[in-house]
Every structure is written in structure tokens, then in C-alpha cells.
Structure 1
Amino acid sequence: MDENIVRSSPLFAALDEDGKQAVLASMKQEDYHRSAIIFREGDPGDRLFIIGSGKVKVGHASGDGPREPPGRARPGRDAGRAVTVRSAPRNATATVVAESTLYSLTQQDLYRVLAQRPEVARHLLASLARRLRKTNESLADLVFADVPGRVAKNVLDLAQRFGRQTDDGVMVAHGLTQEELAQLVGASRETVNKALADFASRGWIRLEARAVLISDVERLRRRAR
């Protein structure tokens, strides 16, 4: 099991080495293939998951609302991206986008860590606050921002998560289908594709299969405002 998963996770960053080893000993490593379902809407929220490697998308199994963008582990912040434990049933479905390794911690083990290490609870609250702020920002965008602006903002957000600098620009291998990208933006696929095509015609981006090459980050950033 990769010890760096606990060391690099913001949720457990405040633990000393003994505490991190205790958490690691309680974790279970699981490997998932592409398209595997980690959990479904309505399943018990009895485990916390941390993404070790790969990509996982978390969203509603049906409906026209926006999906949460896929999470992918990277050193530091994103290595600690977690689906938190709740007593209530899951309100979303987690699906593997690419071959992934996840580390899970049961509700009982997490509560034991929280009882023994109060500093972890502070990090957990901070993580939940960031998620709430992100949700509020997304709702505000749906109300006040036009579709091209939302498309630009989401492409930049995906670039921050998955972007890789190349000689031609920032390559964003997001792995989303056109329908999933439209759900992420909160608009129809046709409208989102029209906005992307407009950005491409202006030379800001280049569209590829489940990927975008951003040629002009600054112009895209201005359009996202």
C-alpha cells in the first residue's frame, strides 16, 4: 500500500507519523477497471474513499442537472480528494473513468481517528467548507453566467485538475464524453458544442477526442469572467 496516500492527503495532513501509520493500517486498497461502479445513489454511506490514482466521476445517474467533474489523484492536494462518509444513503453515483486505485476507510475506523485525533476533524470541516463554497459558485454561475462563459470556466477548471503543459499549449485530457461535458456545464450538448466550436475558430482551443488543447489561456480566462 502506498504510504504517500495518507502523507499527501490534506484530510490527514495534521497527523504525526504514528497517526498516519494508524490510518494507513485501517485502510483497504482496491483496484477498479474503467466503467466500474464504486457506489450508486442510495447505497449506504459507510466508507470514505481516497483516490490514489486514476479518474473517478461523481454525479447523478439520471436527470439533466450538472455533474461534478471527475476527480484524479495528483501529488499533494488532489491525492486527498475524498468521498466523505455520511449516515444517510449516497446521493450520487461514483464511476471509474480510467483504471484507478482507491483507498477506503470504514465509518467506524474514521470515527475512531476523529475521536483520537481532533485535528483531523478540523481538516474535515475545512474540506466540507470548500465543497460548499464550490457548490455555491456553481449555482451562481448557472443563474448569472451565459453558457459560453460557463464552458470557458469549466474548461479552465478541468485544465487545473488535469492539464499538462506542452509546446503547443495546455493539454487537458479530461476523458469526458460530449454529453458528460454538457451536464458538467449545465446546458444542452448542442449549445456547449457550439461554444467550443466558437472558441476553436478563434484559436483559443483545439478540440480532440475527449481532450482539449488550450492555446490561449488568457483569452479563455477573460471569457470565463
Structure 2
Amino acid sequence: MTQFATATPPRGNTSCFTEQNFNRLLVTMKDKTYPEGTHLFWEGDFSDKLFFVKRGRIKLTKSTDEGKELILYMYGRGDMVGQADPFFSSKHSFTAEVIEDSEIGIIEQKDLEIMICQHCDFAIDFMKWMGIHHRLTQTKFRDLMMYGKPGALCSTLIRLSNTYGEKQGDNILINKKITHTDLSNMIGATRESVNRMLSDLRKKDALEYVNGMILIKDLVMLQDICHCELCPNEICRI
């Protein structure tokens, strides 16, 4: 077992795995470091690996023919990344870009298939992980499509607060600097329209900026705008 596996491991979107099954994943991984600006995989690459983020951050994107980028997911420490299709040969539908220097544990598909075949309890946990990912995708598309750009923006701010938020009294500080371009790429809007919507929310005293980071002051207002269904945090995340 690696030194990392003997320490207290991070548990992001892998919290559905029992400690025993999580350690099985850790033992199987081969560690590799990726500098900022590199890629774990590109859209169209064969999907034959999963990637576990031990340190750093990854964004999963989809690009249009015109070059516009849509940010679908942001992964951090403790998250498992990749297109999970054990026993099938498939290609990645998205691109995974490293946005902070990262240490990644790589799980080969053949090793994953062996664990699924040998340990039925691992197979159940893996199905739970896949189910959480499907629900996350479904709720994101619901938010992007049903309540317009203001609803999509408010939903994204709530997801960011659940992922990076720090309580400050009655407020929540999103403890990552998120640019207006990032937000526009997360909801498929122009940067100018995001600027206008954020300005409106600031005028309504729903949020403000502190040292370049977003401070949410009225979470209920954001929830009302996006018709929040109060999904659990493992689903309501960026």
C-alpha cells in the first residue's frame, strides 16, 4: 500500500465507497504529477482509465466547433474523474484540463474490471458512484435549461458555495477566485450578461465581492431564483 493510502485520504465524490473498497482503489493506483495547463485526457481519447485527484484541481470541458468552451465539472482533492465504462471500449466525450499543479492516482480499466469481478461489495459501491455522477449531470442540465440564465447562474453560485464555501456568520464565502469568464463558461452565457446578472444580485444585496472572491449574503434569494430543490451536497456541487 502506498504512503498516501496509510494516511487519512480525502473523500470527495468517492465518499460512497466504504473504507475497505476505497483502500482497494488506492492500492491499485499509479501516481503521476501533472503541472498546471496540462491535460489528463482530450475529447476523443480512448476511455481506459479513471483518475483520482490526490492534490490539485481539474476542470472538465466541452468545446464547440466555434471554439466556445463549456465547463461541465470542477474536480478537487478526493474526487475521481473519468468516463466509467468498464467492460466496454469507449472514447471520452470531454476534455480534462489541469488548472492547478496536481498529483493524480491513475486506475487502469483492466484493474477496475478485476475488482468489480472479484468483490461484489466493490461493484455495488462503484454503481453508487456512477449513480451520483448521473444525478449530478441531470440536475446540472435541469438548472441550465429550465430557468434561464439567471437561474443557471444562481444554481452555479450555490454549487460553488457547497464545493468551496466557508461559513462567515450568516454569509458564505466562496474561497476560490472565480472569474466572470469562468462563470460564463459554466452556464453557456456571454461574459457581459454574467456581469449584468452579478451586478443585479449585488444591488439586491444577495452577494458582494471580498478580495476578489464572492460572498453570498442571501442564499435564500438565490435558491428562489433557480427554484432550488435542496439536493444533497454530493449532488449540488460544481
With the length of structure 2 as denominator, give the TM-score of the two structures. Answer: 0.79
Q: Distance in 1 between matches of 2:212 and 2:46?
A: 32
User: Is the CA contact (8 Å cut-off) linking 1:60 and 1:67 kept in structure 2?
Assistant: yes
Query: In structure 1, what is the Cα distance between the partners aligned to 2:11 and 2:170?
Result: 34
Query: Which is worse superposed, 45-54 or 137-146?
Result: 137-146
* The one of 41, 45, 64 aligned to 2:47: 45
Is 2:62 the partner of 1:60? yes
Task: Summarize deviations over 1:151-206 as a string: whole Å, max 9, x none.
Answer: 11110101101112235832213444422311211222221221111111222111
Instruction: Supply the AA of the counterpart residue of 1:67.
Output: I
What is the total number of aligned residue pairs between the two structures?
217
Equivalent in the alignment of 1:83: 82
Q: Are 2:69 and 1:70 aligned?
A: no
- 2:190 aligned to which of 188, 198, 203: 188
- Please tell me the residue identity of whatever aligns with 2:171: G
What letter is aligned with 1:96? V
| 8 A Cα contact 1:173 1:210, kept in partner | no
C-alpha contact 2:143 2:226 (8 A) present in aligned 1: no
**Corresponding residue for residue 109 of structure 1:** 111
**Which residues of structure 1 form unaligned runs of 5+?**
74-78
Matches for 1:145-184 after TM superposition, within 5 Å: 145-166=147-168, 169-184=171-186
2 CA distance for matches of 1:223 and 1:150?
9
Question: Separation in 1 of the partners of 2:139 and 2:84?
Answer: 23
1:94 equivalent to 2:96? Answer yes
In structure 2, the CA distance between the partners of 1:204 and 1:55, relative to structure 1 (3 Å rule), is same
Query: Could you say what secondary structure the match of 2:106 adopts?
Result: strand
The CA distance in 2 between the partners of 1:171 and 1:133, in whole Å, is: 26
Kindly, what percent of the aligned residue pairs are identical? Answer: 23
Question: What is the letter of the counterpart of residue 106 of structure 2?
Answer: S
Distance in structure 2 (CA, Å) of the matches to 1:210 and 1:38 = 29
Once the two structures are superposed, residues 81-135 of structure 1 have per-residue CA deviations (whole angstroms, 9 ceiling, x without a partner) of 3324432111111111222222111111111111111222222222222222222
SS of corresponding position for 1:10:
coil
Structure 2 unaligned runs (5+)? Answer: 228-238
Q: SS in structure 1 opposite 2:100? A: strand
Is the 8 Å Cα contact of residues 164 and 175 (structure 2) preserved in structure 1?
yes
TM-score normalised per structure 1 = 0.83
Give me the CA root mean square deviation.
2.5
Deviation at 1:71, TM superposition (A): 1.3
Change (3 A) 1:68 1:210: farther
| Counterpart residue number, 1:10 | 15
Letter in 1 for 2:203: S
Task: Report the Cα offset of residue 23 of structure 1.
Answer: 3.6
Secondary structure in 2 aligned to 1:31? strand
Q: Provide the rounded CA distance (Å) in 1 between the counterparts of 2:10 and 2:115.
A: 13
- The offset of 1:33, in angstroms, is 2.2
C-alpha distance in 2 between matches for 1:192 and 1:205? 14
Contact between 2:61 and 2:69, CA under 8 Å: does it hold in 1?
Answer: no
Name 1:35's counterpart in structure 2.
37
Q: Is the 8 A contact 2:47 2:91 kept in 1?
A: yes
Tell me, what secondary structure is at the counterpart of 2:155? helix
Corresponding residue SS for 2:99: strand
